[in-house]
Amino acid sequence: MVNGKERMDESILVCVYYGPNGERLIQRGCKIANMLDCPLYILTVDPKPFDELDAEKSNYIARWKELAERHSADAFIIKDKESRPISKVIAEVAREKKITQIVLGQTAQSRWEQIAKGSIINSLLREIPFVDLHIISVARFLKNPEGQYEKGVRAYLVKEGNGYRLIFNHTKHVMYEGIFFKEQGTDFNNGVFKFMKDKDTLQVQVHEDIINELTNVDIDTDASNDDDYL
């Protein structure tokens, strides 16, 4: 890690959690830190000990560390075995590192959950009121270098047997809402459905309107439109 930035009056903290949106958040934080020529920190928090994480989570952390090294981040911080609310942990790191701007991903909390329990954003505003928050929406784009997918359209999943069916009209039976990217050159609804589940972003394979299981597929998020969210 490199710590030779000129502007020490600004300091960026990127908060990442498991899922395909993590890299996008890091890229956004790096872009801001480069523009400001200031320190950059990347933080992830987990209630479990680091050595008990499964292979998927360990792979995410390895990838984030690689990105931190590549972008000369000042530190990649792992807070494991954490039982405290995540806002408390983020605020503690923000104070310790003199953070002025925090990059966070959009959460999947419903409006009722935000009212009943209070969102992470509201908690952070109370904990560290003078820090700027950048809330990055779930990307509505996929990397599509060979024109494999059409432009994404809003779609929904309803339960059907042991799997799910893709539909394009909202009904009372809808379980998930997201964006469908149809493969080019097919008359059927084959492609990728992108949505949020349990506060994680998932991209699942669709074959002729059917999703057999909600298993994430490795398709990178296109960050080319990030400037829309600054």
Q: Residue 227 gets which letter from DSSP?
A: G
Phi/psi at 19 (5° precision): 135, 165
Helices (H) and strands (E) in the chain, counts: 5, 11
For residue 201, the model assigns a pLDDT of: 75
For residue 110, the model assigns a pLDDT of: 46
Average pLDDT over residues 85-109: 87
User: Could you tell me the pTM of the whole model?
Assistant: 0.63
Phi/psi at 190 (5° precision): -105, 140
Average pLDDT over residues 65-69: 93
For residue 123, the model assigns a pLDDT of: 87
Task: Judge residue 94's burial from the number of C-beta atoms within 10 Å of its C-beta, 0-12 exposed, 13-18 middle, 19 or more buried.
Answer: buried
For residue 229, the model assigns a pLDDT of: 30
For residue 33, which of 67, 94, 74 has the smallest C-alpha distance?
Answer: 74
Instruction: Report d(CA 126, CA 112) in Å as an integer.
Output: 20
Q: Residue 133 gets which letter from DSSP?
A: E
Instruction: Report d(CA 9, CA 36) in Å as an integer.
Output: 10
Confidence check: pLDDT of 120 > 90? no
Res. 140 pLDDT band, cuts 50 70 90: low
For residue 88, the model assigns a pLDDT of: 93
